[in-house]
Amino acid sequence: MSLSRRKTSFGIVAGAAAFAIALTGCSSSDSGGGSSAEPSDDGMMSDEPVTLTLATFNQFGYASSSEGGGDYQYDLIAEYQELHPNVTIVYNVADTSNTARENFFTKLGPGGLADIEAIEVDWLPEALQYSDLLADLTDPALADRWLQWKSDAATDKDGRLVGYGTDIGPEAICYNVDAIEAAGMDASPDAMAAAIDGDWANYFALGKEYSDATGKGFYEENAAMLQAMIGQLEAPYEDPATDEIIALSNPEVRDIYDTLTQASADGVSAGLGQWSDDWAAGMANGDFAAMPCPSWMLGVINGNAPEGNWDIANAFPNGGGNWGGSYLTVPDAGANVEAAKELAAWLTAPEQQAKAFANVGAFPSQPEASNSDAVKSATNAFFNDAPTGEIFTERAAAVTVAPYKGPHYFQVSDAMVNALRRVDEGTMNAADSWAQFEADVNAIG
Amino acid sequence: MTITEPKAPGRDDAPGPRTTAPPTWRQRVGRWDVKYSPYVYIAPFFLVFAVVGMFPIIYTAVISLQDWDLVRNTGTYIGFENFTFVLQDREFWLSLRNTFSIFLLSSVPQIIVATFIAAMLDKNIRAKTFWRMGVLLPYVVAPVAVALIFSNMFGDRYGLINSLLNDIGLSSIAWHVDVIPSHVAIATMVNFRWTGYNALILLAAMQAIPRDLYEAAAIDGASNFRRFISVTVPQIRPTMIFVIITSTIGGLQIFDEPRMYDTTGQGGSNNQWETITLYLYNTGWGNFDFGRAAAVAWVLFLIIIAIGMLNFAVTRRLIAGDTAPKVKKVKK
């Protein structure tokens, strides 16, 4: 036999090893995170040359050259280097938030992160578990810079602020004008805002009216509504004091589940999984009429339904809601913590965030920026010249609650999304799917 | 060929007097060279493997016995708790089911079709290089790009395939909801990528078959098909085993395609197409439980070894058939 047993099992070993590498390969790198520069921390405003690394993902609106070469009005990186001739900024942008997340947590312990690392609100709860590895950014001078709930969410249990807020995603309702009119409803933004304004029961009643008239779903899928509804609860899945999972015993969660599965049975949910190809096509084809719409969603709708006739209602069921947003953090192991703090503070200052908004539409988390004329006067041609700046400034002000997200938040949330999708898809009925959700939640930990 | 058998034992029975003289230094070095050089030459590979292969495997085993914190690089020893959890987890068994289902749906048709394509390419066709490069083309395309193209085809509502089905009056297939259709869709992506690659390997083996075997068979009156079954298949046996084993290993580790199959990348709302590697990834990066993920990695490792052995034994017997003794002699 030419192909001996030795060779065979060797291939097997090598194949499996590839996985083991994926798990452990990066964990044993150098421990001194900042081996690159000399200890120059003590000179607060020193003029010594310093190289700062900045790592973000997607588009933060800082510099076009590193963020895919879009048409930006301002280059904030160049601006800072002009103001501080001794500072050189190396700006790296990861393609997705997920790539950045893996990199962040792989290197947070052993070191090797950039001087400033951007994190997304989706993995902020995980990052807060390791807040002792991040520099304390608390600065009394900046205490009022951000919306209260924005900075509260990035403050750990010891009261240390570990992230400077960049953008937020205040939610309005975007709707397909043609679809609403087809149902015989008044599709002017004011009429829609008046119809939406109210509690969730009102919103679902509106949806049912639409679905009964057209035979189509009113909104995309239940998971999208879940995000909006859970986002208005103080402590949906976990007890803030103990981090114990309360999702199964919390009547509010069960209420939301029952409301949504009932809506699904009524045909109000179109059952198009968010971000899927069908979802994008459904947006263009009028398969659903309305969707929760954070400021950053405008570009998504425009991109998916370029021929569509969409508008924005300046209203959101049951008050306000936020979806998404990011922070800048400074890993404590970095070599230039003080200089990095200074840059992070500058980048998240209202003036700069207003420019980032002009660059990529990242809605500022700083009231001073969102109230500035530059932001407030913004309009969006695709949405029938809707005064988007004004709308989202108002929507941001309407947000009063940021739900408590502990270490298990996203596992529970994923299980809940799957539970709702099983019902939307018809693979399980509501009762069975809840039972499966219970089993999934009990397996966490 | 039969002469080779007695040759080996008789070799050192050289005439007596020669052995009494002690070997010179040069002779000794020469003998060492013959004896040990091969090991020295292959050593670098094994040294590298020890670092990037063996070490992670052992380290993963260590982690799998702990409640591991990736960030702080520390853990507390908890014995086999991670393994107990994994083996009792419904998701694990579902993912095992999915893995085997997708593996069978991909590897079996893949090898059959690859053999057929290779046999066709082995014929005297025009523009040989063009066709041969052509079958390799899908392999060059990045799996992520393949997944993007196929996700367009396998859309539940607006997918290309469902539109065609609707046009001819059939109802849509719920590619992302039902278990078997989702497996078929993923297996299609895998097959698209690997069939041509395997065909080229098999083609290389076919081209090494002495042409006079075919001539002799033709003179004996064997049909085209008979020649394929009785000459080609036995002759490419070692390569066939290689292809089957590599595609088994690859099949049990399918990751890119199911991960890219929908936008959440978690294998479906009811774990319809979550493979075991995806389960591993979700456990590690999704739930941040790297101890459990390491346990999954080890379970997968053991499964692959077991399947590999089984595979080897079965394929050897299956393909061996009646021509086995002949091949053995040639090999020697």
Q: What is the CA radius of gyration of chain A?
A: 24
Is the Cβ pair A105, B159 closer than 8 Å? no
Are A161 and A357 in contact by the 8 Å Cβ rule? The answer is no
Domain residue limits, chain A: 50-168+324-376, 170-322+403-442
Task: Name the residue among B53, B71, B157 with its Cβ closest to that of A17.
Answer: B53
What six digits make up the tokens of A102?
């893996």
The whole-angstrom separation of Cα B312 and Cα A8 is 8
**pLDDT value, residue A290:** 95
Q: Which amino acid makes up residue B160?
A: L
| Distance (Å) of CA B46 to CA A256, B41, B54 | 58, 10, 10
**pLDDT value, residue B18:** 53
Quick check: B246 contacting A, CB < 8 Å?
A: yes
**pLDDT value, residue A124:** 92
Instruction: Identify the burial level of B306 via C-beta atoms within 10 angstroms of its C-beta, where 0-12 means exposed, 13-18 middle and 19 or more buried.
Output: exposed
**pLDDT value, residue B260:** 86
Residues of chain B with CATH 1.10.3720.10: 81-331
What number of CA atoms fall less than 13 Å from residue B142's CA on the CB side?
4
The whole-angstrom separation of Cα B288 and Cα B235 is 50
- Topology of domain A170-322+403-442, per CATH? D-Maltodextrin-Binding Protein; domain 2 (3.40.190)
Nearest CA of chain A to the CA of B152: how many Å? 7
| Distance (Å) of CA A287 to CA A260, A272, A279, A439, B162 | 18, 9, 9, 33, 17
* pLDDT tens figures, B23-65: 888 988 889 888 898 899 999 999 999 999 899 999 999 999 9
* pLDDT tens figures, B222-264: 898 899 988 998 899 889 888 988 888 888 889 988 998 888 8
DSSP code per residue over B262-291: SSS-SS-TT-TT--HHHHHHIIIIIT--HH
Task: Name the residue among B157, B253, B293 with its Cβ closest to that of A23.
Answer: B293
CB contacts, 8 Å: B269 with chain A: 417-419, 421-422, 425, 427
Q: Residue-wise over A180-210: b if at least 16 C-beta within 10 A, else e?
A: bebbebebebeebbebbbeebeebbebbbbb
Token pair 């016995």 in the structure block, residue: B65
Nearest CA of chain A to the CA of B74: how many Å? 10
Q: What is the ipTM of this complex?
A: 0.80
Are A250 and A298 in contact by the 8 Å Cβ rule? The answer is no
What number of CA atoms fall less than 13 Å from residue A410's CA on the CB side?
16
CB contacts, 8 Å: A436 with chain B: 270
Task: Name the residue among A15, A23, A278 with its Cβ closest to that of B157.
Answer: A278
CB contacts, 8 Å: B63 with chain A: 23-24
Token pair 């070993």 in the structure block, residue: A13
Is the Cβ pair A133, B245 closer than 8 Å? no
Higher pLDDT, B214 or B326: B214
Is the Cβ pair A19, B280 closer than 8 Å? yes
CA dihedral for A268, A273, A278, A282, sign (positive or negative)? positive
Q: What average pLDDT does the structure give for chain B?
A: 86
The whole-angstrom separation of Cα A257 and Cα A259 is 6
CB contacts, 8 Å: A411 with chain B: 286-287
Q: What does the pLDDT average to over B100-107?
A: 93
What number of CA atoms fall less than 13 Å from residue A212's CA on the CB side?
9
Nearest CA of chain A to the CA of B313: how many Å? 10
The whole-angstrom separation of Cα A86 and Cα A339 is 11
Q: Indicate the pairing of strand A164-176 with strand A363-364.
A: antiparallel
Angle formed by the axes of helices B179-207 and B128-140, to 10°?
Answer: 140
Pick B81-331's CATH classification: 3.40.50.720, 1.10.3720.10, 3.60.150.10, 3.30.420.40.
1.10.3720.10
Token pair 């962040």 in the structure block, residue: A104
Dump strand ranges (E) for chain B. 66-69, 74-77
**pLDDT value, residue A38:** 40
**pLDDT value, residue B10:** 43
**pLDDT value, residue A31:** 36
Q: How confident is the model at residue B312 (pLDDT cuts 50, 70, 90)?
A: confident
The yes-or-no answer to whether A50-168+324-376 and A170-322+403-442 have a common fold is: yes
Is the Cβ pair A14, B53 closer than 8 Å? yes
* pLDDT tens figures, B170-229: 999 999 999 999 999 999 999 998 999 999 999 999 999 999 999 999 999 989 889 998
CATH no., domain A50-168+324-376: 3.40.190.10
**pLDDT value, residue A18:** 41
**pLDDT value, residue A42:** 42
Q: How confident is the model at residue B321 (pLDDT cuts 50, 70, 90)?
A: low
Residue numbers of chain A with a pLDDT score lower than 50 = 1-44
Q: What's CA A166's distance to the chain center, in Å?
A: 11
Token pair 């990186």 in the structure block, residue: A77
| Number of cross-chain residue pairs from A and B with Cβ atoms under 8 Å apart | 155
Question: What percent of chain B has pLDDT above 90?
Answer: 51
* pLDDT tens figures, B105-119: 999 999 999 999 999
The whole-angstrom separation of Cα B255 and Cα B295 is 18
